[in-house]
Amino acid sequence: MATHTSTGMAARTNVQKASIAVGAVFLLVGVLGFVPGITSNFDQLHIAGHHSEAMLLGLFQVSALHNIVHLLFGAAGIALARTAAGARSFLLYGGVIYLVLFIYGLVVPQDSAGNFVPLNGFDNILHLLLGVGMIALAVILTKGRTTTRA
């Protein structure tokens, strides 16, 4: 009888599964940002900047650049999930990036030229939750799995 070892989803660690799941959600959000109806005011979708009035799910202000960043972030999460270390890095550093984006959203006025992403209050809250959640996943799912060096 043949044994199933290191292939398939069952052989992946929990941190790899989390990286794939988070990456898939980012991919989905990136695609949905380009779908009229799911993104309201789609005719107001700009390439970048705070002038974009397109709203994903009627809540989150998006631009084409914002959607493309979601797609790239999602692809990175799935690609880095090939190893546990890559998955942990994606979740940890991606979480840090989202916390920085949260602070950026608080500091930069919504109608400012510096708000090139664009961001609104709902985006800021989501970025805080994503940052904390991703970092928590990275830490909790790899706790006790550190390698000691001599």
Q: pLDDT band for 88, please (50, 70, 90 cuts).
A: very high
How many whole angstroms separate alpha carbon 66 and alpha carbon 126? 14
Tokens of 15: 């941190």
Entry pTM:
0.84
What's the pLDDT tens digit per position in 129-143?
999 999 999 999 998
Residue 147 clears pLDDT 70, i.e. is over it:
no
Mean pLDDT, to the nearest integer, of 71-88?
97
In the chain the first and final C-alpha atoms are separated, in Å, by: 40
Q: pLDDT band for 48, please (50, 70, 90 cuts).
A: confident
